[in-house]
Amino acid sequence: MRYDVITTKPAAQAVADVQTVAKQHGFGTLHVYNLKETLTGKGFPQTSECYVLEVCNPAQADQVLRLDFTMNVALPCRISVYESQGKTWIGMIRPKAMLEMLSKQPALAVIADEVEAAMVKIIDGAK
């Protein structure tokens, strides 16, 4: 259900690289959440870096919504960059597995396959 890789880069550099590689695959970054900063600022101190990037390929998102507008709950895609066990990780929930839990439409599965393949390339290219 997950796809995670280890990178030797610091988290902030991995975030920048994910954004750069995402553009090369037709994905834009809608937002980057810094969970460490946000939670610490709300009185829940965090020691590990954790960023969540919302990324989207507009054409594929449009196709998903045209097939089944209720799939908006699965959009946009997310890629996390986080520290765990002294290492920096880049990961995601696999789009195909997530959409299969939400819909059995074959056309959505095809799009999810395409999105997942691109997201794996993004993560691998950023590591």
- The domain segmentation of the chain, as residue ranges, is 2-126
The pLDDT of residue 104: 87
* CATH for 2-126, options being 3.50.50.60, 2.130.10.10, 1.10.150.130, 3.30.310.70: 3.30.310.70
- The stretch 39-59 carries a mean pLDDT of 97
pTM of the model: 0.94
Secondary structure letter of residue 77 according to DSSP: E
Q: What is the pLDDT of residues 62-108, one digit of tens each?
A: 999 999 999 999 999 999 999 999 999 999 999 999 988 999 899 99
How does residue 42 score in pLDDT terms, banded at 50, 70 and 90? very high
Average pLDDT over every residue of 24-41: 97
Q: Which residues contact 109 (CB under 8 A, 6 or more apart)?
A: 96, 99, 100
- Of all residues in the chain, the percent with pLDDT exceeding 70 is 100
Q: pLDDT band for position 110 (50/70/90)?
A: very high
Q: Would you state the pLDDT for residue 95?
A: 93
Could you give the angle at the alpha carbon of 42 between the alpha carbons of 40 and 44, nearest 5°? 50
